[in-house]
Amino acid sequence: MSFDKLQEKILAVQNPTVAGLDPKPEYVPEHIRAAVYAQYGETLQGAAEAIYQFNRGLIDALCGIVPAVKPQSAYYERLGWRGMEVMERTIRYAREKGMYVIADIKRGDIGSTAAAYADGWLGETKVGGASYPVFDADCVTLNGYMGSDSVNPFLDVCRERDKSCFVLVKTSNPGSGELQNIPAGEGSTVYGVMARLLEQWGAGTEGACGYTRVGAVTGATHPKELQEIRAMMPHTFLLVPGYGAQGGTAEDVRHAFHAGGRGAIVTSSRAIICAWQKTGKNGADYQEAARNAAIAMRDDICRYITIE
Amino acid sequence: MSFDKLQEKILAVQNPTVAGLDPKPEYVPEHIRAAVYAQYGETLQGAAEAIYQFNRGLIDALCGIVPAVKPQSAYYERLGWRGMEVMERTIRYAREKGMYVIADIKRGDIGSTAAAYADGWLGETKVGGASYPVFDADCVTLNGYMGSDSVNPFLDVCRERDKSCFVLVKTSNPGSGELQNIPAGEGSTVYGVMARLLEQWGAGTEGACGYTRVGAVTGATHPKELQEIRAMMPHTFLLVPGYGAQGGTAEDVRHAFHAGGRGAIVTSSRAIICAWQKTGKNGADYQEAARNAAIAMRDDICRYITIE
């Protein structure tokens, strides 16, 4: 099962983290940009191509150390269709390199529309008699505000093609409490109600590792809520943003894990992909800098957990 | 202001509805598909191009009768980057024809990521010294589950470039109540809490028409909630899905409007774009059929309201 594969990859590299690929053109080292812009100009096409070269270099540097990557759709949509083409290529390249790919899209819509998204991101799209995989990630992030019929079409494709998803429960951003922490239901909160819904939606899809195909997003920036959610959702794999720049520490994220460092994966984006900006080498060392940052994060988190 | 423009366009054509452009390849009449597939094959490229030809014909048929179109991103993403290229072209063509374009994307993410989405969909993307508009819609739909910092970056671009947005409050789908109708806050519900947040987020951005730049999505399928939300949100423009196939009637949607048929717009997608499937002419009349369906919907809704 999809999360079994993720758990195996985590075990293999002894690292429960995922590198976010959230690139802006200005995050791409000068030597890559200069070469690409010489060919395509300082255009959307040039920016997209520069980002692809950067992503490819990052994936080469990180595979074998980090089990998964998480491209964030916003940074590709920002460049229009050329960015989306690079998102497709990036997902394909990372999977070829053996990495598990979480497309961070946070989609959510009514049933027929959710089915269209599921075709594009996890499944296949029919054109006449033929079917084509499109973005073909291993996993997507979703927003469950609209209810089960906005998630079920994804779950159907997850079952058919052995994929999985993470649905937002308690997010890492400062404003997350405005809705999510409001008291709701019987002695719970909005995020608590969402957590219970997710356990229901996923029920019956457990893999060998014991987790359902419906994971949950829970921010490292709210350690109390993270502990509560871990306890409420014993069958749910957790995706944990907010470590590092946003303020979450290794001590905070350890609460996301079950024994043996199982059932959770911690994300980091800019601290890894922009690590070269802090070494004073003008980006010539961006691969080494990303690798070192990923290793430092792994070692920091593994001070509190043992992966086995 | 952006919603003033929408209100003016509604007044000009005396029609408070928006046509959803949610095309699958199989919704495109045979004669268009045959011609395009002869050139590009039954491929994702062929499907994308067929959909563009179809959209263009629909826009030609509907402009002057319907004030706005609402392309749903899922149906374009389903075809990968080629679909996104067609979404860009469709938005551009509809705006050239004087239509107001609502990109139905339902995005929502942490601040920096929301800013990247806002660049792509409403603003401009910087590459070196240059800035490029990308999808450049008039308006987007958003999901506010993550709180104000997921909406504010859009609002910043809305102010700069005179755009606006609609945020989900009470959606039209059958499962919407699973989270949205849970009792929350002081004597309210999750959707009620969201409604109050939206009025706060939009405050101070009112245009001449009295509405803020932060509109709300409220389904026609829940007429009681629609009335309640209209009363709770006096400064908020409403986008109302769920009319027609989903079960909402003209009598239900009239509660969305203020006096003079102001402050709301009702959506319809398949009933308009697939109207040709019911006339027995194999799609030769798809433009006429779409126009007739749009006129029938306008007349149905205008039995209960007067636009002035």
pLDDT digit string, tens, across residues B109-157: 999 999 999 999 999 999 999 999 999 999 999 999 999 999 999 999 9
**In b/e form, how buried is each residue of B244-278, taking b as 16+ CB within 10 angstroms?**
bebebbbebbbbbbbeebbbbbbbbbbbbbbbbbe
Residue given tokens 């595979």 in the structure block: A63
Proportion of chain A above pLDDT 70, given as a percent: 100
Answer whether A145 sits within 8 Å of B143, measured CB to CB: yes
Tens of pLDDT, residue by residue over A181-204, are 999 999 999 999 999 999 999 999
Question: With an 8 Å Cβ cutoff, is A171 touching chain B?
Answer: yes
Is B106 in the active site?
A: yes
CA dist A266 and A238 (Å) reads 8
Among positive and negative, which fits the CA dihedral B245, B246, B247, B251? negative
Query: Could you tell me which residues come within 8 angstroms of residue A102 by beta carbon, excluding any fewer than 6 positions away?
Result: A18, A68, A69, A70, A137, A138, A139, A140, A141, A166, A239
Mark yes or no for CB contact B182/A193 under 8 Å: yes
| Lookup: tokens for B271 | 């009933």
The answer, yes or no, to whether residue B39 has pLDDT greater than 90, is yes
Interface test with A, best of B112, B127, B142 (most A CBs within 10 A): B127
Q: Would you state the structure tokens that stand for residue A16, as one six-digit string? A: 């429960």
Count the neighbouring beta carbons within 10 Å of the beta carbon of residue A269.
26
Which of B119, B130, B175 is opposite residue A149, by nearest beta carbon?
Answer: B175
Domains of chain A: 2-301 (3.20.20.70)
Kindly provide the ipTM of the predicted complex, given to two decimals: 0.98
β-pairing verdict for B124-127 and A139-142: unpaired
What pLDDT does B245 receive?
A: 85
φ/ψ region of A236 (left if φ > 0, alpha if ψ in -120 to 50, else beta) reads beta
Q: In which element (H, E) is residue A165 found?
A: strand A164-170
* The one catalytic residue among A5, A70, A106, A278: A106
Total-model pTM:
0.98
Percent of chain B's residues with pLDDT above 70: 100
Positions in chain A short of pLDDT 70: none
DSSP assignment of B69-107: EEEBHHHHHTTHHHHHHHHHHHHHHHHHTT-EEEEEEEE
Q: Which residues does B187 contact at the CB level (< 8 Å), separation at least 6?
A: none
Distance CA B91, CA B102 (A): 9
Rounded Cα gap, residues A102 and A120, in angstroms: 14
Given CB atoms, is A248 within the 8 Å cutoff of chain B?
A: no
- Residue owning tokens 């054109």: A127
Measured between CB atoms, does B200 come within 8 Å of chain A? no
Give percent above pLDDT 90 in chain A.
99
What is the DSSP pairing of strand A214-218 with strand A164-170? Answer: parallel
Q: Please tell me if residue B277 touches chain A, with a CB cutoff of 8 Å.
A: no
Answer yes or no: is pLDDT of B165 > 90.
yes
Torsion of CA A229, A8, A54, B81, to 10 degrees: -80
B208 Ramachandran zone, left/alpha/beta (phi>0; psi -120 to 50):
alpha
Contact A42 B130 (CB under 8 A): yes
Give B166's pLDDT tier (boundaries 50, 70, 90): very high
A·B CB contacts under 8 A = 236
Q: Do B114 and A168 touch (CB under 8 A)?
A: no
pLDDT band at B213 (very low <50, low <70, confident <90, very high): very high
pLDDT of residue A245: 85
Q: Is B199 on the interface with A (CB under 8 A)?
A: no
CB contact under 8 A, B47 and A125: yes
